[in-house]
Structure 1
Amino acid sequence: MLSAKSLFQEILDNDESFRLFCSIAASGETQGGWENARIAALVPPGERELAPRITRHGVDEDKHGRIFNALMKKRGLSPVEVPADTDYTMLLERQGIGLAHDKLKSDEPLSVQDIVTYLAHSRVTEQRASEQMDLLRKHFADHPDIGRAVKMISNDEDNHLAYCHEELLRFAHAGHGPAIHQTLRECALAEIRVYRDVSLAVMDHMGRILGWPKAKASVLAAGIHAVYAYERIAGWRRMVSLKMPERRDALGGPATAAPEFA
């Protein structure tokens, strides 16, 4: 019987599929770390108090990248080149979601609207990250090799999501509500398309590595399309709602250091 647990266990048990999984994850987290560092450096003068939280967000993402690389190193594996069709962050940028890298590479300060766009984009993508890590935590929190990493990253992603909710609500109260609503909706609808495409691509690559029969690959692809259909009709709405989180000022303190995994 196919299940999320059995599927990931199969990926985990094979060196090549595990290496691809960790390489994709590490690349995305490292990219997120760079983006947040640049945004923190370019925060407009009136929002400088937000810079330490954005920096903390980036530090966490960099830490996650190091953790995934350490998990590979622990098994004597080295990273592989990430296939372009599995590059979630790059594909989102191509859809015009988030802040363009050309803008982040310049030295021009960002606008308040840029910060709102960044937070809305993060609120959507951190929802996905939080849900994915929560699923892994549910099934693999006690795993001897990856359990500690899964718990740490899951906790961080929950903090990131709480931070996005709190900051977006602050901006909404300051009069940016309509812009936030529109940006969240655009980001969510684009994200679910990209997530579908990346999921199909990842499963295709994993299927070739693990030698999945055509029937199994077809069932998995059908499941991915079914999730997208649900998200396109109604599921995307969970990504655009805002509520004050239980974790207040979730990124207000120092980042937690990554334990030695390798």
Structure 2
Amino acid sequence: MLSAKSLFQEILDDDDSFALFCSIAAGGESQGGWENARIAALVPESQRGLAPKITRHGADEDKHGRIFEALMRKRGVRPVPVPPETDYTVLLERSGIGLAHDRLRRDEPLTVQDIVVYLAHSRVTEQRASEQMELLRKHFADHPELGRAVTMISRDEDDHLAYCHEELLRLAHAGHGRVIQRTLRACALTEIRVHRDVSLAVMARMGDILGWSRARGALLAAGIHAVYVYERLGGWRRMVSLRMPERRNALGGPASSASEFA
């Protein structure tokens, strides 16, 4: 029976597919760490209170990248190059989502509008990350190799999502509500398309590594397209709603250590 758990289990059991999975994840997390570090350094004076939280966000992302690298070391496999068509963060940037890297490399303070764009982009992508890590935690929290890692990362992603809700609501109350909703909608509609394309590319690569039949590949591709249709017809709305989280100030402290995975 083809299920999310059996699919992930097959990927995790093979060294080559495991290396690709972890390399893609590590690359995306490390990129997120760099982006947040630059944003924290360029926060406008009126939003300086956000800088420690953005720094913490970036530190968490860096930590996640190190965790995935540690998982590969423990398995005894080497990181592999990330195929361009599977690079979620790069493809989002090329689609105009978030703050362009050229902008972040300049030592010019960001604007409040830039902070809105950053938080809206993060709110959408952290929704995806939170859901994906919750799925992994549901099926692999007790896994001897992955359990602690997926539990820690899932908890962090939930905190990141809570932080985005809280800060966007703060800015909405300050008069930026319409811009926030417009930006969230544009981010969500682009993200679901990029996620579909990346998912198709990742599954194609995994299929080549694991020797999946054409029929199985077609079935998985059909499932990915079905998810996209659902999201395009209305599922994207879960990515743009805002509500005050139960846990306030979720990024108000230092990042937890990843030393146990080293």
Give TM class, smaller chain. over 0.9
Query: 2:101 is aligned with what amino acid?
Result: H
Match of 1:105 in 2: 105
The aligned counterpart of 1:11 is 11
Corresponding position of 2:130: 130
1:260 aligns to what SS in structure 2? helix
Does 2:255 align with 1:255? yes
Match of 1:19, SS state, is helix
Give the superposition deviation at 1:261: 2.0
Question: Structure 2 counterpart of 1:143, which letter?
Answer: H
Amino acid at match of 1:258: A
For structure 1, the 5+ residue unaligned runs are: none
Any residues of structure 2 matched to 1:199-238 within 5 Å, and which?
199-238=199-238
1:165-176 matches, cutoff 5 A:
165-176=165-176
Q: Greater CA deviation, 55-64 or 250-259? A: 250-259
Amino acid at match of 1:43: V
TM-superposed deviation, 1:78: 1.1
Give distance in 1, aligned partners of 2:43 and 2:68. 29
Distance 1:157 1:247 in 2: 13
Classify the secondary structure of the residue corresponding to 2:255: coil
Where in structure 2 are there 5+ consecutive unaligned residues? none
Cα deviation for residue 260 of structure 1 reads: 2.3
- Aligned partners of 2:142, 2:46: CA distance in 1, in Å? 45
The normalised TM-score by structure 2 is 0.99
Alignment-mate amino acid for residue 229 of structure 2: A
* Matching residue of 1:159: 159
The reply on whether 1:115 has 2:120 as its aligned counterpart is no
How far apart, CA to CA, are the structure 2 residues paired with 1:149 and 1:32? 18
Give the match for residue 71 of structure 1. Answer: 71
What's 1:186 paired with? 186
Shift of 1:247: 1.0
Matched residue type, 2:95: Q
Q: Distance in 2 between matches of 1:247 and 1:24?
A: 30
Amino acid at match of 1:124: V
Name the residue aligned to 2:91: 91
Match of 2:30 in 1: 30
Number of residue equivalences: 262
* Large movers: runs of 4+ above 6 Å: none
1:148 alignment partner AA: R
> Does the residue aligned with 2:7 lie in a helix, a strand or coil?
helix
Deviation at 1:129, TM superposition (A): 0.0
Counterpart CA distance in 2 for 1:78 and 1:54 is 31
Give the distance between the partners of 2:251 and 2:257, measured in 1 at CA. 14
SS in 1 for 2:261: coil
1:152-204 Cα offsets, whole Å, 9 max, x none, are 00000000000000000000000000000000000000000000000000000
Q: Secondary structure at the match of 2:172?
A: helix
Per-residue CA deviation, residues 106-142 of structure 1 (Å, 9 max, x unaligned), is 0000000000000000000000000000000000000
The equivalent residue for 1:60 is 60
- CA–CA distance in structure 2, aligned partners of residues 162 and 51 of structure 1: 16
d(CA) in 2 for partners of 1:16, 1:89? 22
Give RMSD over aligned pairs: 0.5
Please name the residue that 2:143 is paired with: 143
Structure 1 range deviating more: 196-205 or 251-260: 251-260
Structure 1 CA distance for aligned equivalents of residues 75 and 184 of structure 2: 40
